Every structure is written in structure tokens, then in C-alpha cells.
């Protein structure tokens, strides 16, 4: 029986990635392959090597049968990325990409982070069912983050000055209508949270967006951790993520004074790490470095809660699902998608001020029954809302609806035969 052919475009993909969006794309590719579909992934190694620490290891598991990865590399990664960033077109790799689309002949083209893999120019390639998932706010923000002037969340546009403050060349095509014209080639734009959907509307994105659930693969969501967590002398809270100022960890560290009842464990790396280590001197803070997902599972499970203090507008942090898998609640800043998730699931506590954060940490340190009740709610929500079955079924139903609306009878027949 014929299966569908998928072609995914993304700037970052493991091992050439920095976090959430690359992991999301890989999980989707592998989940589709497990159902027998053929998946091609195109990503920009040029972009990763331009931005990454040259000493960082490039280690990744092999791809499963059914997934083929196409890496865009050139002798001049700076020139390749700058050309795409400035023109919104895949100038260096355009010919190869057009040939690839023709050779694969996909049923579905799914765009993810396009910033340096080809920009809006890629949206016109091919005639398949076309989806676009907004993993960041790049569609409405040249710096992706709605983090104005590198110091505050954005509530109104100051794009030219902001790009210069971020050290990025202004993208003149954003004022030309190029993105809006190219967006017409996409059938459905997808958001990972109501918050992200609303932000795109608020900042003038002209297309309506639909919600699509993130998910944890079944292999990652089931079973027990393979190893035990490191020995802990006292209860601990866990932070997982890149160590950058926008993640807000500097607002949490001062609450873990020496002599306090709990510790803060920090898993991750980033450019802000030296400042965070200085701030943590003499406090009950343990830096764990960058850990594999397998090594993190038992640490999640034993934590009193995962702390999510981000100062910027996140889209949908996967640490939420990783915590819920281990029946661990979250303590999150009342910002971005966190209120939406916590209030719908009852799986954590929210804070705005340092006093509210201190109170939340104290409650979860002292009240084991509360901690376990919130953690159990998170696990139920994961199974009901963000399981692989829920996510992939919803995804394929969406493709079927678009195929029907566009008269793509070949794609419809494949999906009907698999139902």
C-alpha cells in the first residue's frame, strides 16, 4: 500500500540544532516514518556552523528507515546565510532545492523555521499540500523572539532599531509585501499555542492560524528512566534550557540562599552561563551542563518541580511535556503560553513577582501531597492532549481536509486507505 511522501524544510535539525524546533521536526519525521510514510528533511548546516561553537560535538543517533536527511552546505556559509537573510530567497541553494522538490514529488510540504534555509521564497516551491508551523515569531519579528532592543518583550513595532540592537542587518524585504505574497502558497499556518496564535494576529500576520498539538513520541513517553538521578542531599528544583538572559534564570538563583531547604539544579549551556555562575556563588545551585534526554529523565522525575522563568514570549516549550511525562509539576512565570497550559491542566503554579515565586517554591518544598497531585494532573494532560497518537492523528486529519479542499484525490485516497 502506498504511503505519503513528506518534505520538511527547517533551518535546524539534529545534530545541527540549538533546541526545541529541531527536536520537534525530528520527532514529527520519526513518528511519520513509524507509520510507514516516506519523509525527507532539508536543513541548513551552513546556518548551524555559522552560529554554533566550533568546539561543540556533532553527535546524533542514526535516522530510521523511511527518513532521509538532505543537508545544505557550502564553502561560504556566511555568504549563503546572509544572501537568504537579506533577500528572503534561497539564492545559493535555490537550484538544488527546486530539483529536490521535483525529484521527491511530495504529497505534503511542511515548512518549519525558514529563516536561513530559504526564507519566504521557498513557500512557492512545489504543488503539494503545504503546511507551515510557527516555532518562533519569525513571521512577524525579524529577530524571531519579540524581544525588543534585547531588553523587554515587544508590545509595538520598532523593528529597524531593534534589528540593529540585535546586531542583525535589516531585512528590507519585510517592508515590500514579499512575505505576504509568498504566504498565499501555503494552505494552513499552524500555531503550537493559543498565545502564539494571538501574537501573530496582534502583530499583523494576515493569515488565520490553526492549533496543532506538540507531542512526545510514544517511545519517550512510556517506560521508566534507565538510570537513577544523581544523589541529592535535599529537595531540588530543576531548570532545563539554554542559559541566556531571556530565559530569566537570574530571577530564580537569588532565592536559593545557602542554608535554605532546597537546591536549584540547572541543566543546559549558553552564553549567559558565566554570569549565572557568578550570581550562584555561595548559593545552593548545582550546574549540570548539557545532558542527554535519557540522562535528564530521572532528574525530572525526582525534582520538586521544573522552574520556567522565561522573560520572553515562548511559543510552546517542550520542557512542559518532558516534566509532565515524569509526573513533575511546573512553576512558571505568568507570561507567554505558560498561563494557558497551567490553567488548562492544573499541573503547576504561576508567579509574577519574586514574592510569588518564593511562595510557590516553598509550598512545593513542604507539601509533597500538593506536588504529587499537580504532577499527576500533568501526566493525565500529556496522555489526553499531547501524546503521539493524538498529535499524529490530528496532523493527518488536517492534511486530509486540505487535500479534499484542494481536490488532491491521490493524497485523499492514501489517507482513506490508511484510516
Instruction: Clarify whether residues 173 and 61 are in a common domain.
Output: yes
Do 341 and 408 share a structural domain? no
Does residue 232 carry a pLDDT above 90?
Answer: no
Q: How far is CA 37 from each of CA 14, 29, 33, 125, 315, rounded to the nearest angstrom?
A: 20, 9, 5, 21, 28
Q: Is 203 helix (H, G, I), strand (E, B) or coil?
A: coil
Average pLDDT of span 234-239: 97
Query: Is residue 313's pLDDT more than 90?
Result: yes
Task: Based on the fold, state whether residues 165 and 225 are members of the same structural domain.
Answer: no
CB–CB of 198/204 below 8 Å? no
Tell me what pLDDT residue 221 has.
62
The arithmetic mean of pLDDT across residues 154-183, rounded, is 93
Which residues have a Cβ under 8 Å from the Cβ of 271 and sit 6 or more positions away? 243, 244
225: pLDDT strictly greater than 90 = no
* Grid coordinates belonging to 409: 484525490
The reported pLDDT for the residue numbered 56 is 65
Are the C-beta atoms of residues 138 and 132 closer than 8 Å to each other?
A: no
Cα–chain center distance at 199:
16
Give the pLDDT score at 57: 63
Instruction: Round the average pLDDT of the chain to a whole number and report it.
Output: 93
Peptide bond into 15 cis (omega under 30): yes
Burial tier of 185 (Cβ tally within 10 Å: 0-12, 13-18, 19+):
middle
- At residue 142, does pLDDT exceed 70? yes
Rounded to an integer, what distance in angstroms lies between the CA atom of residue 124 and that of residue 60? 31
Model confidence over 82-100: pLDDT tens digits?
999 999 999 999 999 999 9
pLDDT on residue 58: 67
pLDDT digits (tens, 9 = 90+) for 352-409: 999 999 999 999 999 999 999 999 999 999 999 999 999 999 999 999 999 999 999 9
**Which residue, 70, 25, 71, 77, is CA-closest to 54?**
77
pLDDT for residue 222: 66
The percent of the chain in helix, strand and coil, each rounded to the nearest 5, is 45, 15, 40
Task: Tell whether 397 and 371 lie within a shared domain.
Answer: no
- As a whole number of angstroms, the distance between CA 419 and CA 148 comes to 46
DSSP H or E segment with residue 26? helix 20-34
Contact 329, 371 (CB under 8 A): yes
What is the average pLDDT across 187-201?
97
393 and 379 belong to one structural domain: no
The sign of the torsion formed by the CA atoms of 208, 157, 340, 179 equals positive
For residues 238 and 154, what is the distance between their CA atoms, to the nearest angstrom?
A: 28
* Whether residues 328 and 235 fall in one domain: yes
Say how many domains are in the chain. 2
Q: Where does residue 360 rank: exposed (0-12), middle (13-18), buried (19+ CB within 10 A)?
A: buried
Q: What's the CA gap between 284 and 281, in Å, rounded?
A: 8
What's the domain range around 99? 5-215+387-418
Same domain, yes or no: 226 and 189: no
Identify the pLDDT of residue 230. 83
Of 61-65, 274-278, 304-308, 315-319, the least confident? 61-65
pLDDT of the residue at 91: 93
Domain CATH number, residue 243: 3.40.50.2000
Q: What is the mean pLDDT of residues 224-248?
A: 88
pLDDT of residue 226: 66
**In this structure, are 309 and 284 located in the same domain?**
yes
| Proportion of the chain above pLDDT 90, given as a percent | 84
Percent of the chain with pLDDT over 70: 97
- Same structural domain, 228 and 309: yes
Q: Are residues 154 and 170 in the same domain?
A: yes
Helices (H), 281-408: 293-302, 319-325, 338-345, 354-366, 368-385, 388-406
Output phi, psi for 400, to 5 deg: -60, -40
Domain co-membership, 414 together with 350: no
Same domain, 270 and 326: yes
Per-residue pLDDT of 42-94, as tens digits, reads 999 999 988 877 666 666 778 999 999 999 999 888 999 999 999 999 999 99
Amino acid at each position: 500500500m502506498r504511503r505519503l511522501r513528506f518534505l520538511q524544510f527547517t533551518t535546524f535539525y539534529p545534530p545541527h540544532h540549538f533546541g526545541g524546533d529541531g527536536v520537534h521536526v525530528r520527532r514529527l519525521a520519526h513518528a511519520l516514518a513509524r507509520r510507514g510514510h516516506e519523509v525527507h528533511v532539508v536543513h541548513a548546516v551552513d546556518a548551524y556552523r555559522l552560529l554554533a561553537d566550533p568546539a561543540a560535538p556533532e553527535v546524533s543517533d542514526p535516522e530510521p528507515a523511511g527518513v532521509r536527511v538532505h543537508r545544505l552546505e557550502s564553502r561560504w556559509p556566511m555568504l549563503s546565510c546572509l544572501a537568504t537573510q537579506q533577500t528572503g530567497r534561497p539564492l545559493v541553494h535555490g537550484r538544488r532545492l527546486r530539483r529536490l522538490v521535483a525529484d521527491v514529488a511530495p504529497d505534503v510540504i511542511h515548512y518549519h523555521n525558514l529563516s536561513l534555509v530559504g526564507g519566504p521564497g521557498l513557500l512557492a516551491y512545489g504543488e503539494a499540500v503545504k503546511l507551515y508551523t510557527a516555532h518562533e515569531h519569525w513571521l512577524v519579528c525579524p529577530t524571531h523572539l519579540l524581544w525588543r532592543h534585547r531588553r523587554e518583550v515587544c508590545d509595538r513595532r520598532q523593528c529597524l532599531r531593534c534589528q540593529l540592537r540585535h546586531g542583525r542587518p535589516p531585512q528590507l524585504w519585510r517592508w515590500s509585501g514579499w512575505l505576504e505574497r509568498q504566504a498565499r502558497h501555503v494552505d494552513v499556518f499552524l500555531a503550537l499555542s493559543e498565545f502564539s496564535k494571538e501574537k501573530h494576529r496582534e502583530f499583523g500576520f494576515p493569515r488565520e492560524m490553526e492549533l496543532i498539538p506538540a507531542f512526545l513520541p510514544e517511545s519517550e513517553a512510556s517506560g521508566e528512566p534507565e538510570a537513577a538521578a544523581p544523589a541529592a542531599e535535599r529537595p531540588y528544583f530543576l531548570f532545563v534550557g539554554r542559559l541566556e538572559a531571556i530565559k530569566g534564570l537570574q530571577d530564580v538563583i537569588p532565592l536559593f540562599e545557602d542554608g535554605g531547604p532546597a537546591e536549584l539544579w540547572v541543566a543546559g549551556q549558553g552564553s549567559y552561563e558565566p554570569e549565572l555562575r557568578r550570581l550562584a556563588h555561595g548559593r545552593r545551585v548545582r550546574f549540570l551542563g548539557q545532558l542527554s534526554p535519557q540522562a535528564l529523565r530521572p532528574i525530572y522525575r525526582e525534582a520538586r518541580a521544573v522552574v520556567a522563568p522565561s522573560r520572553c514570549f515562548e511559543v510552546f516549550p517542550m520542557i512542559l511535556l518532558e516534566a509532565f511525562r515524569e509526573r513533575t509539576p511546573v512553576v512558571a512565570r505568568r507570561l507567554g503560553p505558560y498561563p494557558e497550559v497551567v490553567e488548562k491542566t492544573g499541573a503547576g503554579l504561576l508567579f509574577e513577582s519574586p514574592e510569588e515565586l518564593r511562595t510557590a517554591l516553598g509550598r512545593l518544598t513542604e507539601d509533597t501531597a500538593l506536588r504529587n497531585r499537580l504532577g499527576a494532573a500533568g501526566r493525565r494532560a500529556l496522555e489526553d492532549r499531547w501524546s503521539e497518537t493524538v498529535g499524529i492523528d490530528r496532523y493527518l486529519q488536517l492534511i486530509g481536509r486540505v487535500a479534499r479542499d484542494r481536490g488532491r484525490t491521490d493524497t485523499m485516497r492514501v489517507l482513506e486507505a490508511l484510516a
